[in-house]
Amino acid sequence: MAKDIPLDNDAEQKLVERLRKEVAELKGVDRALVDPLLEEVAALAVMVANLRKMVQRDGVMIEVEKGGANNRHIELVENPALTAYSKHAGRLSDLAKKVSGFAKGLDDEQDEDELVAFNRR
């Protein structure tokens, strides 16, 4: 089984700080709503980067031992980190678009309501 790659909290904090500085330069941004979202973006970005490292290290396909006591064998299966990477990369992209749209000022009330609802979860 692959060794876990620890999440880099330092990188996450640096990314949050950089994103906050960029948003601080924009006018009319509700910081109470945007700041928690920036933390989520940074956390997802670090997670996606770590999953990508795992896939690069272990490969897209990995060998897994399967079967019972009388039927032990090795199978080649898709790396679970690749599945997680794809799922989280999509979430990161979606969240980044929402934050970007909110930071630029949304014209569509439905999008703003959706963002406010997400932030309250």
Task: Output the average pLDDT for the chain.
Answer: 79
Distance (Å, rounded) from C-alpha 10 to C-alpha 102?
A: 26
pLDDT tens digits, 38-48: 888 888 999 99
Distance CA 79, CA 64 (A): 10
Domain boundaries, the chain: 9-120
Do 84 and 48 touch, CB atoms closer than 8 A?
no
Residue 67 has a pLDDT of 86
Position with higher pLDDT, 62 vs 100: 62
Q: How confident is the model at residue 107 (pLDDT cuts 50, 70, 90)?
A: very low
How would residue 108 be classed by pLDDT, with cut points 50, 70 and 90? very low
How many residues comprise the chain? 121
Tell me the two tokens of residue 48: 């996606």
The two tokens of residue 70 are 């009388």
Q: Indicate the pTM of the whole model.
A: 0.67
pLDDT digits (tens, 9 = 90+) for 1-15: 334 445 566 888 888
- The residue assigned the tokens 């999008």 is 111
C-alpha torsion angle, residues 113, 27, 17, 39 (rounded to 10): 0
Angle between helices 109-120 and 80-104 (to 10 degrees): 120
Does residue 78 have a pLDDT over 90?
Answer: yes
Measured over the CA atoms of residue 112, residue 47, residue 53 and residue 77, the dihedral's sign is negative
